[in-house]
Structure 1
Amino acid sequence: MTKQALEILLERVSAWPEEAQEELMRSMTDIENRHLGIYRLSDDERNAVRRGLKDMRDGRLASDEAVAAVFDRYSA
């Protein structure tokens, strides 16, 4: 999309219903945060990271052989 096309589209947004404008703002904010902002983990993601780190500290890691076997199974 060219800068000119984007400017034309943004000019038309003012004629959209308020609900559609709010939806656009949420979408644009999400896109900006994904590309430029700091990613915020959800509670589920944070808990998964904590479980993974605990497993690592407790030595519960897959062996190199087990990992290679998984890759071999799906690379055929």
Structure 2
Amino acid sequence: MTKLLDQALEIARSLPADAQDDIARIVLQLAGAEAADPVILSDDERSAIAASRKAAARGEFATEAQVRATWAKHGL
């Protein structure tokens, strides 16, 4: 095991059980040991993704200030 992975696991041990399970699922998926179930999108979600792709094609992206405001809103 690498030093970085060992450090990450040590930090993960201090997290709540649900966060530890989330991390474990991600590691298993990245290692190819667990296949993720497909995500079924609603019509609204499909429309939102289509609108986002069109905006990206036009070069319309959030400013750094908008991204920071969104992160702050969600405590990130």
TM-score, normalised on structure 2? 0.38
More helix by share: 1
TM-score, normalised on structure 1? 0.38
